[in-house]
Amino acid sequence: MTAVNIGMPRMGFFTDTSVCIGCKACEVACKEWNAIPSDGALDLTGESFDNTSELGANSWRHVAFIEKSVPSQDASAPDGVRWLMASDVCKHCTHAACLDVCPTGALFRTEFDTVVVQQDVCNGCGYCVSACPYGVIDQRKDDGRVFKCTMCYDRIGVGQEPACAKACPTKSIQFGELDDLRARAQERVDALHEQGLADARLYGDSPDDGVGGTGAFFLLMDEPETYGLPPDPVVCSRDLPQMWRQAAIAAGTLLAGLAATFLGRRGQRGE
């Protein structure tokens, strides 16, 4: 389940939501480069200015618009509204459950430690959909195959940055070597804390979390739940090795018992 590094530095995304302006340039660039079909983006969802709603097979980047009520300091004045915006994406987990449960090898880990789906190998079983702790992977309704962010594998393989990061006008989405991004992210959090923004925090950067850290992590300005992110994600397949060991022990014990019974009966018959 661990990430496999074969000599290349691990690449990733750092998304600084404190400077996201909700322009959706990342969504447009992602769709254009990857030739992703329409996802009903012109529909009115009633969710503020969010017309995508969530990540899906046809939405590999999703810009959330979150309106959070701010109590007024004046009892005679109405409450205010605090805007939180964030561009969400596949997390490219270190311990990726989608990889563990895929029966065909359609999902694979690249030399950059990113996780990519090979659509021509996917059989549409959907196991990875339920395995993902972030609800990222989705099936297209026309043929059942799964699709998600590839971190523009075709671009980074030739030295270019992903389309979303290139299009972001405020550098809310940053791409690079993961270790460099983590150091940069911590400096940004420290700077925000010095400015009095105590709610600033990193999400997905710790190798000690339930997925072993992610290849796409975030600077959030509120609790993860506010952004629709699980506070303590856990890869569902993390206990598979222990489960298989226990199953093997149980099977061995059963076979040993059957063998003893069989030999005992033969002994009673004098064979």
Question: Hunting for tokens 């969802």 — which residue is that?
Answer: 45
For 222, 229, 245, 263, the CA distances from 252, given in Å and listed in that order, are 51, 42, 10, 16
Please give the single-letter amino acid code of residue 107: L
DSSP at 215 = S
**Domain check: are 201 and 270 in the same one?**
no
**Domain check: are 43 and 170 in the same one?**
yes
**Domain check: are 98 and 174 in the same one?**
yes
**Domain check: are 132 and 57 in the same one?**
yes
pLDDT tens digit sequence for 27-72: 999 999 999 987 665 666 666 677 788 899 999 999 999 988 887 7
Count structural domains, the chain: 2
Please give the single-letter amino acid code of residue 105: G
Closest to 88 in 3D by CA, of 51, 45, 54, 115: 54
Q: What is the pTM of this model?
A: 0.80
Res. 131 pLDDT band, cuts 50 70 90: very high
CATH number at residue 120: 3.30.70.20
Which DSSP helix (H) or strand (E) runs through 63?
A: strand 62-70
**Domain check: are 268 and 229 in the same one?**
no
pLDDT tens digit sequence for 98-113: 999 999 999 999 999 9
Residue 86 lies in a domain: yes
